[in-house]
């Protein structure tokens, strides 16, 4: 297997880490992506101790959506999250851009957002952490062309590639992977049905084998993280359904 498989804990509000991570490990996941507050997680020492006892890794640490400022509270929070990732010896920090404005995105908006991401990336580099921008529908970058334009503005910052958003924008997946092959440092898998996020295999996203094969072809060997659906399905079932889907296609 070329990839390590992780599970995003986006919908875990106040998890019992020992219990939930043990369940992930027993279900065949290699790691997990954390988005919980540092108040919830505790120290890097605590998280590392729990993970080591279970035999599971932290794939990535995530932060709040950036703003267009390098001098506000959100920017400082993201720097603290980067430091937390470094203390955990986790190499990926991922965050999304601002939400969509009630007007068209301008070149100045993209310039300002690039300054924010580059500032985080430069801050993170000596700490052994790579900052990855996660493009997302209904955010400031909200089309294939805006995505391409924004990536051209980045130097140090890398990319979290989420196939579902590329599909929403009508961006050919194979082409998108090759367009950004030198920038992909982290990958998300997601599924949607009727504009709602669902578990893998339950929605419109069906090209996982071809997508993962393309990633192999460009030499990607990093984390593949699954974002579970925002449904009332119990956590245990979400973990099982998503892992079963990946096993069904050979992962």
Which domains can be identified in the chain, with CATH numbers? Answer: 4-248 (3.20.20.150)
**Is residue 186 within 8 Å of residue 155, measured between CB atoms?**
no
| Residue 1 confidence (pLDDT) above 60 | no
For 111-135, what is the mean pLDDT?
98
Under DSSP, the state recorded for 192 is E
Which pLDDT value is given to residue 196? 86
| Residue 205 confidence (pLDDT) above 90 | no
For 17-37, what is the mean pLDDT?
96
Name the phi and psi angles at 225, rounded to 5: -110, 130
Which pLDDT value is given to residue 210? 94
Helical axes 73-88 vs 107-124, angle rounded to 10°: 40
For 230-248, what is the mean pLDDT?
92
pTM above 0.75, yes or no: yes
For 65-86, what is the mean pLDDT?
97
Burial state string for 48-78 with b = 16 or more CB within 10 A and e = fewer than 16: bebbeebebbbbbbbbebbbbebeeebbeeb
Name the phi and psi angles at 187, rounded to 5: -135, 140
What spatial distance separates the first Cα and last Cα of the chain, rounded to whole Å? 7
Nearest to 47 by CA among 87, 95, 4, 6: 87
- Cα 39 to its chain centre, rounded Å, is 21
Which pLDDT value is given to residue 193? 86
């Amino acid at each position: 297997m070329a990839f390590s498989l992780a599970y995003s804990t986006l919908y875990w509000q106040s998890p019992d880490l020992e219990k939930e991570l043990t369940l992930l490990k027993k279900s065949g996941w290699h790691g997990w992506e954390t988005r919980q507050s540092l108040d919830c997680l505790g120290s890097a020492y605590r998280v590392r101790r729990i993970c080591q006892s279970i035999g599971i890794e932290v794939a990535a640490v995530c932060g709040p959506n950036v703003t267009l400022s390098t001098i506000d509270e959100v920017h400082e929070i993201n720097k603290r999250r980067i430091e937390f990732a470094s203390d955990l010896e986790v190499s990926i920090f991922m965050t999304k851009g601002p939400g969509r404005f009630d007007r068209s995105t301008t070149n100045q908006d993209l310039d300002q957002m690039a300054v924010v991401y580059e500032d985080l990336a430069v801050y993170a580099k000596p700490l052994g952490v790579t900052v990855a921008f996660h493009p997302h529908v209904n955010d400031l970058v909200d089309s294939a062309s805006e995505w391409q334009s924004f990536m051209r503005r980045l130097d140090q910052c890398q990319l979290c590639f989420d196939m579902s958003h590329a599909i929403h924008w009508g961006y050919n997946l194979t082409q998108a992977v090759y367009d950004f092959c030198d920038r992909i440092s982290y990958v998300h898998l997601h599924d949607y049905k009727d504009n709602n996020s669902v578990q893998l295999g339950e929605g419109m996203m069906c090209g996982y084998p071809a997508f993962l094969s393309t990633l192999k072809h460009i030499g990607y060997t990093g984390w593949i993280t699954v974002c579970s659906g925002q449904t009332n399905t119990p956590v245990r079932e979400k973990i099982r359904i998503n892992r079963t889907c990946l096993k069904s296609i050979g992962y």
